[in-house]
Amino acid sequence: MDSMRNSLIAVRAAILHRACQVERLLIIATLQNPETRDQLSHLLPAGQYDESFERALHRQHQEVLTDWLFLSTEEKIADLAIYAALQGETTAGILHQWFTRERRERLTPCGVPPSVQSLFDSEADVLLSVAAQ
């Protein structure tokens, strides 16, 4: 249990100081995926990533996704605009980079209930349509 708690603390420390909810979601989704984790490995403590670490990542991914889903559409747009500005991008550019149907799968944790995935897909579609206007 200590290993799980320590892992969770390390994961939270890597993302909670981020200004934008969407940035937290993008970071945790990148860390959750073993194929992309190396891109952000500098945010994590050095060492082996054991099963408790993987569980901690998954749990934190679920929490970050839930927090993001609870934002209103206006809050999501404002959050995306701030993140885009910090990245030197446009909001539409960030949305197309991460939220198109082909790419958004990786933003939700494995095993997310279909109702949550459906809500996430619906929210992403709304954001894409707002950005297209």
pLDDT tens, per residue, the chain with 133 residues:
566 566 666 666 666 667 799 999 998 888 888 788 788 777 776 666 678 778 888 888 999 999 999 999 999 999 999 999 999 999 999 999 999 988 888 899 988 999 999 999 999 999 999 888 8
Q: How far apart are CA 98 and CA 80, in angstroms?
A: 11
Pick from 29, 128, 116: nearest CA to 77: 128
**pTM listed for this prediction:** 0.83
DSSP letters, 65-93, are HHHHHTS-HHHHHHHHHHHHHHHT--HHH
Grouping H, G, I as helix, E, B as strand and the rest as coil, residue 2 is helix
Q: How far apart are CA 96 and CA 74, in angstroms?
A: 18
Quick one: DSSP state of residue 107? G
Q: What ranges do the domains of the chain cover?
A: 2-132
Count of positions (residues) in the chain? 133
